[in-house]
């Protein structure tokens, strides 16, 4: 399975054996995550779904993150969680 964005960039490739079913909930989750990370300087943790907390991108300072996102928690300078901005 391939997900290609409007600029013809390959964003995801999943290889499933013919004998294994596909998880369409995971495919939708990945599309939601790709759209969220395209709109905001964030990363999504494993098993993220819309509405759950996100990881603030490294290029955003903690001060800027606190202005831009709600409920920013800094665990390490490089690991800051915030409420989902989408």
b/e per residue 64-84 (b: at least 16 CB within 10 A)? ebbeebeebeeeeeeebbbeb
**80 is a domain residue:** yes
pLDDT of residue 37: 96
Please, which contacts does 4-9 make with residues 24 or more away whose CB atoms are closer than 8 Å?
5/34
Average pLDDT, the chain: 94
**71 is a domain residue:** yes
pLDDT of residue 70: 96
**68 is a domain residue:** yes
* DSSP code of residue 57: P
pLDDT bin (cut points 50, 70, 90) of residue 55 is: very high
Domain count, the chain: 1
Q: pLDDT, tens digit, for every residue of 3-17? A: 999 999 999 999 988
**20 is a domain residue:** no
Could you list the residue range(s) of the whole structural domain that residue 77 is in? Answer: 41-86
pTM: 0.86
Residue 74 DSSP SS3: strand
CATH number where 52 lies? 3.30.1020.10
**86 is a domain residue:** yes
pLDDT of residue 64: 96
């Amino acid at each position: 399975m391939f997900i290609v964005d409007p600029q013809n960039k390959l964003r995801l490739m999943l290889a499933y054996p013919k004998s294994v079913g596909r998880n369409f909930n995971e495919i939708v989750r990945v599309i939601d995550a790709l759209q969220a990370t395209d709109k905001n300087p964030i990363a999504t943790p494993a098993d993220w779904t819309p509405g759950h907390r996100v990881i603030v991108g490294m290029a955003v300072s903690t001060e800027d993150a606190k202005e831009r996102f709600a409920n920013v928690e800094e665990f390490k300078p490089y690991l800051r969680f915030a409420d989902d901005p989408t």
